[in-house]
Structure 1
Amino acid sequence: MIRILFISALLLLVLDARENPFFPTGGEKDIPISSNENRSKEPLKRATIALPAQARILQKVTLEYKNLDGTVENKSIELDNSVDWHLPVFVSQNYSEISKTAQLEDKHDKNEVKQKDSAYKTIASIKDLSLLSSGKSLKIVTTDEILRNFLLVHPHRIVIDLKKNEEVKSYVKKDFQNIFKEVRIGNHDGYYRVVVELDGYYRYDLKKVSDGYLIELK
């Protein structure tokens, strides 16, 4: 009897029992715990991101999301595409919204092509000078010589000084639906100044053409 009690006590001492059987032993791998918390949210239809006026190239899109276990991760897609900052960027999981967005993009592309192919529209005109616009192009029709041209900010505007010894009458023309939204012309000693205010941030190229000069925004 004493021997049986001694063996039983010895077995109790060497027995490797877990204090809490609901947790894994040291040799087992941790099991990810998934929360049962109710995290129901409204389904994503469409989110809109407006780009700043100086945006020109979209390089990367990153989405940050929450997993079932509550951890937060992100996934990115590398891009290298030019963008028009006038248009928003959409995030959508709704097929009808995607189709609608594709239609809008197609309409915008067609409008751009149509605008490029269309004749220039006169936005300002005085004696010996006419300004005509088409999309991001501004044609300066004149025989007067450009002395200098430069860009100013706040607001963004192109300044053009043209040589002329006779007085030019002051002139102001506004069209807020145009990229070239305001034209101001003022007289100076030996030249007159044309200021073209833009609807956002741009750089530009200026070149001589047969009937004057051509400005291309970029």
Structure 2
Amino acid sequence: MKKIILISSCVLALVARENPFTPDDINVTTLDSTNISENPPKLNRVVAKFPSDAREIVTATFSYKSVDGSIKQKSIDINASFDWHDDIIILSQPPVSSETTPSLDVSVTTTNEQTKQAVAKQATPKPLSVLPKIEPPLKSIAFMDFIKFDIFASKIEIITKDQMFRDFIINKPDKIVMDFKRGSEFSTQSIKVQKGPLKKATIGAHKDYYRVVLSLDGNYHYAIRQSGNGYTLTLR
């Protein structure tokens, strides 16, 4: 009996694998392991749009995934005004290295007077050769011969000799209403603009005045002041 048990043990020792955790066919099963999860696409360019009542960006808060898989947040103080029409773009790019200002190369043979002249030449600002650019209006419209509107990105120049005696704003949809003194009769007219903040301008006559209604593309604060040719309507 002892001989039978001894022979059986030897046979099992020859048949058994050295490592029971190694698969039978090493070519079929991979032994690679990893704790790296699949990443989303690399950040390139993200565009954000804001509603028409946005005027300032206070902070930007990013939620990000840490290496341990937890979700964390990073807030950046901005405190800057902006035009809500603009795209706010987030870009991923390598850090920009600051360029050092080249130093003045003064030879050992240069005299003190020559050095002073070279330093003064570098420090003297170059005169402006280009005159300040005058901004042209995006579009100009006129009703008959007594009122004209020059539309800019954030203001409207109202060119008229008539006196404005009332103005107010209407929301949803956003409109600015202005009444001017003039005793004339004409049919109500409307002009589609679609430039800057102005979508449409409508003018209609009443008994002793006429009314101008400016339809805007969003929610604005406005201010009106007298100017040399009439009035300036500022939108912000």
The equivalent of 1:44 in structure 2 is: 43
Q: What is the match of residue 182 of structure 1?
A: 200
Contact 2:154 2:196 (8 Å CA) reproduced: no
Q: In 2, distance between residues paired with 1:54 and 1:77?
A: 22
Where do residues 186-201 of structure 1 align in structure 2 (5 Å cutoff)? 186-201=204-219
Distance in 1 separating the partners of 2:164 and 2:188: 18
**CA offsets 1:98-117 (integer angstroms, 9 cap, x no match):** 9xxxxxxxxxxxxxx96xx2
Task: Encode CA deviations 1:151-172: one digit per residue, 9 max, x unaligned.
Answer: 1111111100111122133211
Contact residue 44 and residue 94 of structure 1 kept, 8 A: no
Task: Map 1:142-161 to 2 at 5 A.
Answer: 142-161=160-179
Give the letter for the 1:119 counterpart.
P
Alignment RMSD (CA, Å): 2.0
Q: Based on CA coordinates, which of the two structures has the bigger radius of gyration?
A: 2
**Would you say the 8 A contact 1:124–1:183 is kept in 2?**
no
Q: Report the number of matched residues.
A: 166
**More deviation, 147-156/124-133:** 124-133
Partner residue in 1 for 2:71: 72
> Could you tell me which amino acid in structure 1 is paired with residue 158 of structure 2?
I
Q: Deviations over 1:3-25 (max 9, x none)?
A: xxxxxxxxxxxxxxxxxxxxxxx
The match for 2:135 is 118
Distance 2:195 2:227 in 1: 26
1:101 alignment partner in structure 2: none
Percent of residue pairs identical: 31
Distance 1:81 1:71 in 2: 31
Runs of 4+, deviation exceeding 3 Å: none
Gaps of 5+ in 1: 1-34, 99-112
Greater per-residue helix proportion:
1
Query: Aligned letter for 2:35?
Result: N
Shift of the alpha carbon at 1:37?
4.8
Q: Normalized against structure 1, the TM-score is what?
A: 0.70
